[in-house]
Structure 1
Amino acid sequence: MELDFVCTRAGRSADALTRRDVARALLAVPSGVALVALPDLRRAMEAAGNPLSALFWESAKALLGAVEAGTATLGEIQHWLESTGTEPIAMTRTYFSWPDEDERGPVAVEMYDRLVAHLEEKVAAGEIDPDALAAGDPAAREAYEELQRNWLESPLPDGRVPMFAVTDEQDEALFAAWDEEEAFALAELRRVVAELPEPPLPVDELRAAAGRLREILARDGYPGNVLRACGGLEDGVPADDAELWLTVAAGVAGPVSDLPEEDDTLEEFTDLDGELRHEDSVLASLCAIEHTDWLAAVAALARRGPGVLASPERLARMIVESEDVVAASDDPEDVAAVENLFTAVVPLWKELGAVDGTEVLTPLGWWGLPKALERAWTVEE
């Protein structure tokens, strides 16, 4: 590792290199290589008229030594890098965090580079003291964090607020990935259903289930409040039995709305020692189930038909053994996590009559669950 390597990585001449440039180059090679190269690199920087500081080189030797010994943590490495004075803080005290370097979109890259340039200006102006940061001065660190927080939350000349510009881009990417997964799952579901005979509509079961469902939806508390939120039915219910049943069943796979807020909701969510209401926990579990898990579970039930056990444990095994999704993990902890999520689903399916009291798939569930899942994933034009 030579000075030319550092200059090439940073895109700067030796006399313009910053501590961050050198630190990132040192971390880009094996720690043993960096330790061996450290003395020669220091002399080359001095010869180039850019000696940095003795404290920087001492801190680099100590950090790299800890890395080589296997005792350095990722947090310690990041903290040392931030102590160069021009490295953005990975996570601020207001919980803003930068995406990993290989996951940044164009906006995040732009804002990150803008902040680095801003910090370099502050170092040049003497408003940031890298040696104080490297020495672990609490006041210097607090000022460094505050300076970055202010920049992230202040509008740029074009009106964009860096923090929100980055998080908005992340949200857009997340929504796009979600839509792509949903479209793929929908296509696979339709492929599976097309290969199977059309289940008959159990008219009497549907009528009875819709009647019970209307009574449940009219009651306060669980499960009525969760099912209303799932189906987005706070303003009324469909008159048609099939429409009502499919609306609510689709909502279980893709909840339409949140639970109504109550006066103590904020207090509950900010009480870190407390527990979520059962309803909140159920809705959170429904939202956490992945498209592939829904696909694997419902496809398996559609193939097996009425009489198959649809308990949370059995559904988790069906998902692991499914040929309709890419190798679901069969790690016991992962299987248990999926099973736990479906403990929120099966009781709601019971209320719908999709499974019976012994958690066995009914003719109504065989007829309706694939249709409900398709509805949940179909975007209305």
Structure 2
Amino acid sequence: MLALGCLCASTALAYKTVGFRWASEAGPIVYRLDPAGSDDITDGSDHQRIEDAFQAWGCAEGTNLRFSRGPDMTGPGSSGDGLSSVFWIENEAGLSPFGLTENNVAVTINNVIIEQGATVENQETDIILNGVHFQWNSQGQASGNNIPIFPIMLSHIGTMVGLDQSCTAADDPQCPGEDQTILKWFYDYSATTPLPDDVSGLQSLYPADDDSQCEGPFRQGERCENNCDCIGDMVCIPGIYDYNICAPQCTSDANNCPPQFACLFGAKGEDDIAKGTCVQVGTQQLRPIGSYCEVNTQCENNSCLAVADVGRSICRQTCSDDGDCSENTQCLDGVCIGFGPFEGIGCDEEPPSGCACTQNATTDPSAALLLGILFWGFRKRRRP
């Protein structure tokens, strides 16, 4: 069932939620950009303003929601391909598949099935910008059909994360005030950041659960250069999007990896516990050889079996020597298992906090593909 949103129970706040959230516990929302950008801008500032808008939401206080720019799009934009994308449509024929007309500046399409009375998980959102009927700029000025990128993106990202319009009309009795939210029936071209009511809604969906900050230290799944960029005992290792990410450590006595990660164990130690590191697998990616699993279909080799040297079920592959195993595993007693906890990428120098790390970069060969099916769309007209 598709639902457009529900008013939160608190009478002190007017923010509205649509009925979905992202699994922020797994790491940042990864989005892609069309390398072509806008036909109206040739200096790359169109991409920068989009990134600035995502950063503004990711730096809202008291939340664990973050964003990360992933690899650029490699083909025409489409909805329902399992990948969150931001792109312009620059030809008339390309508008109608996304429901865009000469009256719509942009549309947000959340590919998720809304369930009445429940909050479901979203895995894909596309933001499509109308480059046919509007001219775009990166300077923040609006004049006629000349539209600034940043405030448009700021508004549509709010819808992307699961918030609905707090103010639907000038006489909306539930509106907290036009100066309290950017999610209203018109675009606020002066907006520079989410406003108090927007932040309250974000905190309700994505409450902060660690000491990470938008500019570091970083949490699981966020970009890093070395171990000292990460919170706690997380290590900086290659992720599935061709950049390094912060990853937690894990053990066989507790399935303690966050969503979209799987524990790659080493052999059990004297304490009868196997230690390892949580490697990123994404939402639909199959788990690598040697990592924790529950059923065969989770594994890239379709084999999930208990292994005595680990004390857990793992994606089990038999071997005669290390050459039969993947890069991050070794052959032990005829089975490919991990080497133990990754050391990660060593810190360039010892910071004041005393973090001291060693160099041992590893490679995770897996790649991610997110799958989506139906969509909930949001369009907004310019204020008359």
TM-score (normalizing by structure 2):
0.24
Whichever structure has more helix as a proportion of its residues is 1
By percentage of residues, which structure has more strand? 2
Q: Which has the bigger relative contact order, CA under 8 A and spacing at least 6?
A: 2
